[in-house]
Amino acid sequence: MSADYTYDYSIIRIVPRVERGEQINVGVILSCVDSDFLEARIELDADRLRALDSSIDLDALRDSLATIPVVCTGGPDAGPIGALPPRGRFRWLVSPRSTIIQMSPVHTGRTKDPRAALERLVETMVRRPAPGA
């Protein structure tokens, strides 16, 4: 891949108590139409989440989050949404919701490698900084 591609991404956030508005970034969805790329990476930090809401049902949350990469992949396992083209699935995934799983506004970037861009976004937007960093 030598050309720069334009991509769109959204941060996956958990808002355990919607009325409080506190949130934790738990993943990223990245769509790059020109390279036919649509993937999500999710890394749930249970300790950080429990700090906001000690009563959250982590198993149910993990099950719900697990559907996001399935929808990105598409096909019959993703249900009716899986029949949409990748861009349609991305738009469906990032549409506003009032549940505890919410997406940030869509942002745009450029890259030669969408997979590397996704990893960089997870590193900077989701993972905890290393101690002393």
Q: ∠ CA 110-113-119 to the nearest 5 degrees?
A: 95
**pTM to 2 decimals?**
0.92
Structural domain harbouring 73: 5-125
Please, which pLDDT band fits residue 1 given cuts at 50, 70 and 90? very low
Which residue type, as a one-letter code, is found at position 72? C
Q: Is the dihedral of CA 84, 10, 68, 14 positive or negative?
A: negative
User: What is residue 49's three-state secondary structure?
Assistant: helix
Q: Looking at the domain assignment, is residue 89 inside a domain?
A: yes
Please, which pLDDT band fits residue 133 given cuts at 50, 70 and 90? low
Q: Looking at the domain assignment, is residue 132 inside a domain?
A: no
Residue 129: predicted pLDDT: 82
> What's the rounded Cα separation, in Å, for the pair 74 and 37?
12
Give the mean pLDDT of 60-82.
96
Give the mean pLDDT of 99-105.
94
Residue 2: predicted pLDDT: 61
Q: Looking at the domain assignment, is residue 18 inside a domain?
A: yes
- Nearest partner of 22 among 100, 96, 97, judged by Cα: 100
Share of the chain above pLDDT 90, in %: 86
The total domain count for the chain is 1
For residue range 3-45, list pLDDT tens digits in order: 799 999 999 999 998 888 899 999 999 999 999 999 999 999 9
Q: Looking at the domain assignment, is residue 130 inside a domain?
A: no
